[in-house]
């Protein structure tokens, strides 16, 4: 008689990645509706035009990413992981440039970099464990 360990129906990593994507998508929806919490000074002036369009596109992207994480659709997971890793690299590059220019790197929106890093780690790990 052999014993087998049954895998959970939905891996915890998929649930975490889905929750991250939906939560970040909801934040973008709230920002598009005019909520400025977490955006720092001058956010009210930014809340129109391109920023509004960006938030709406980002919200849709987050919800699609959450769907792909939930269904474990590998090509979508790979795309999301790539976008998030690229965003983290750009954020680090911008911070390095700011330090080089003598600017303060710790701003009211620094928390966003941590959010992107968490998302990148979740999706990269999800790609790794679900690869074909």
- Tens of pLDDT, residue by residue over 57-73, are 999 999 999 999 999 89
Least Cα distance to 59 among 11, 17, 23, 104 occurs for 23
pLDDT for residue 44 is more than 60: yes
**Size (the chain), residues:** 132
Domain extents in the chain = 12-130
Instruction: Specify the pLDDT at position 64.
Output: 95
Going by pLDDT thresholds of 50, 70 and 90, the confidence category of residue 26 is very high
In three-state secondary structure terms, 114 is helix
pLDDT value of residue 50: 81
Residue 132 pLDDT level (bands cut at 50, 70, 90): low
Distance (Å, whole) CA 3 – CA 37: 52
pLDDT of residue 4: 47
Asked whether 29 and 60 are in contact (CB, 8 A), the reply is no
Are residues 109 and 99 in contact, defined by beta-carbon separation less than 8 angstroms?
no
- Encode pLDDT of 69-94 as tens digits: 999 898 999 999 999 999 889 888 88
Q: What is the pLDDT of residue 6?
A: 45
pLDDT at position 121 is 92
Mean pLDDT, to the nearest integer, of 19-29?
94
Task: Give residue 69's pLDDT.
Answer: 93
């Amino acid at each position: 008689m052999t014993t087998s360990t049954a895998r959970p129906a939905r891996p915890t990593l998929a649930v975490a990645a889905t929750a991250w994507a939906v939560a970040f998508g909801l934040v973008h929806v709230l920002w598009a509706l005019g909520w400025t919490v977490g955006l720092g000074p001058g956010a009210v002036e930014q809340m129109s035009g391109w920023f509004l369009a960006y938030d709406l596109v980002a919200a849709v992207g987050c919800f699609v990413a959450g769907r792909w994480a939930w269904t474990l659709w590998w090509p979508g997971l790979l795309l999301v992981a790539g976008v998030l890793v690229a965003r983290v690299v750009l954020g680090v590059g911008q911070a390095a440039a700011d330090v080089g220019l003598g600017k303060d790197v710790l701003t009211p929106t620094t928390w966003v970099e941590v959010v992107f890093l968490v998302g990148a780690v979740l999706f990269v790990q999800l790609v790794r464990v679900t690869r074909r």
